[in-house]
Amino acid sequence: MRQVTIKTIADELKLSASTVSRALNDHPDIHDDTKRLVNKLAGELGYRPNIMARNLKSRTSNQIGVIVPEIRHDFFANAISGIEEVAYQKGYTIIIAQSNEEQEREIINLNSMYLNRVSGIIVSISQSTNTESHFQKLIERGVKMVFFDRVCQTLNVPKVHIDDFESAAKVVNYLIGKNYSTIVHFAGPQSLDICRKRKLGYEEALGKPGSNLKSVVIEAGMHENDGYNSMNKLLEMGIESCAIFAVNDPVAVGAVKRMKELKIDIPGQMGIVGFSNNPITEMITPRLTTVDQHAFEMGQKAAEILIDEIEGKNLNGNQLDIKLETSLLIRESA
């Protein structure tokens, strides 16, 4: 007999499969002596319950699906870490897929998880996703779903993300307090929700009563070289002393690189703040002031909410829209 099953034990002990099953599950109907006997033999035989059979019977898998654009991105890797942490504590297993920023692959992965009968799905949507029907369809069929970071606003499921608007305003207010004469924003592509919100937050903070700072925005991409180039543009505009709020860390790093080449004093002549708290921000000189998005905690929170949904402990219906506090990490660059 290849596999040790409940039946193996039952036969050996001249019991029925049901008694063995109950004994293993510590059911009160079973005599303690029987339980001891069964457990002892189970141990000796190296019995392991067949989870597939159990899942089939219970119609659930205790698996949580996670779909992110790219696992290798620092932010997502951290978020996944957080998800795994919580899932592990609560007895769930996570299965992971990446969309590589392609909608098509997002759809395939989503459906594959649906087929696999995962207990729930945590998603951060891909950049190229321009429809929500694939999510909508599953939600209608009762699949538990939670979005994080890159959420889909129009869908009626829980979301966990940061308040980009508030966070940006927080940064700018800090810079205002530092008495910089000009506060510039190196913005990201305005097609992206988060970039738009960060810019709005910047403008909101600048426009506060009593402030006579004018808005200076240079829009570019989100990579290091974009920051480098924006820095050149800034100088062409004749601005020689200011504070810069960069849309993210790579852009800030690129700007810093150019500033160092030009021997611009940081933060004396120009201050600069990034966004995301990439590991690099702490390794460059000067250490970069930035905004920590608490990726790990975001993952944890998303997992907690999903598991609550799965286990029917959801208090607030699906209206949950959690904006996690960000932290302004004040270091040396501003």
Shortest approach of DNA to residue 300 CB, angstroms?
Answer: 29
Answer with the entry of DNA, a second copy, none that 200 interacts with (C-beta below 5 to 8 A by kind): none
Determine the Cα–Cα distance for residues 29 and 237; give it in Å rounded to an integer: 83
Among 24, 37, 77, 176, binds a second copy (CB under 8 A): 77
**Residue number, 137 or 323, with CB nearest to a second copy:** 137
Contacts of 61 (CB under 8 A, 6+ apart): 55, 116, 117, 118, 119
How many angstroms separate the Cα of 118 from the Cα of each of 108, 219, 306?
14, 41, 12
Q: Which tokens sit at 132?
A: 């929500």
Q: Per-residue b/e over 116-129, b at no fewer than 16 CB within 10 Å?
A: eebbbbbbbbbeeb
> Can residue 5 be called a binding residue for DNA (CB under 7 A)?
yes
Tokens of 59: 């119609």
Exactly one of 43, 57, 154, 214 binds DNA (CB under 7 A); that residue is 57
16 binds, among a second copy, DNA, none (CB under 5 to 8 A by kind): DNA
Angle, helices 6-13 vs 32-45, to 10°: value is 120
Closest separation between CB of residue 17 and a second copy, Å?
Answer: 16
Among 7, 197, 257, 323, which residue interacts with a second copy (rule: CB under 8 A)? Answer: 257
Binding string to a second copy for residues 215 to 244, with x set by CB under 8 A, is what? ---------x--------------------
Residue 30's binding partner, choosing from DNA, a second copy, none, with beta-carbon cut-off 5 to 8 A by kind? DNA
DSSP letters spanning 74-89:
HHHHHHHHHHHHHHHH
DSSP H/E element including 272: strand 270-273
CB atoms within 10 A of CB 236: 8
β-strand partners of 22: none
Q: Which of 49, 207, 241, 316 binds DNA (CB under 7 A)?
A: 49
Task: Name which position in 32, 212, 214, 312 contacts DNA (CB under 7 A).
Answer: 32
SS3 288: coil
Kindly indicate which of the ranges 46-54, 70-78, 90-98, 146-154 contains the residues binding DNA, using the contact rule CB under 7 A: 46-54
CA 32, CA 27: separation in Å to the nearest integer? 10
> How far is residue 325's CA from residue 334's CA, in Å, rounded to a whole number?
21
Q: Which of 21, 126, 248, 326 binds DNA (CB under 7 A)?
A: 21
CB of 59 to DNA, least distance (A): 6
Nearer to DNA, 125 or 310 (CB): 310
249-261 and 224-236 helices, crossing angle to 10°: 50
Q: Which residues are near a second copy by CB under 8 A?
A: 3, 46, 48-53, 55-56, 59, 61, 63, 70-74, 76-78, 80-81, 84-85, 88, 93-98, 105, 109, 112, 114-117, 141, 224, 250, 253, 257, 260, 279-280, 283-285, 296
Binding site for DNA (CB under 7 A): 3, 5-7, 10, 14-19, 21-22, 24-25, 28-32, 34, 47-50, 53-54, 56-59
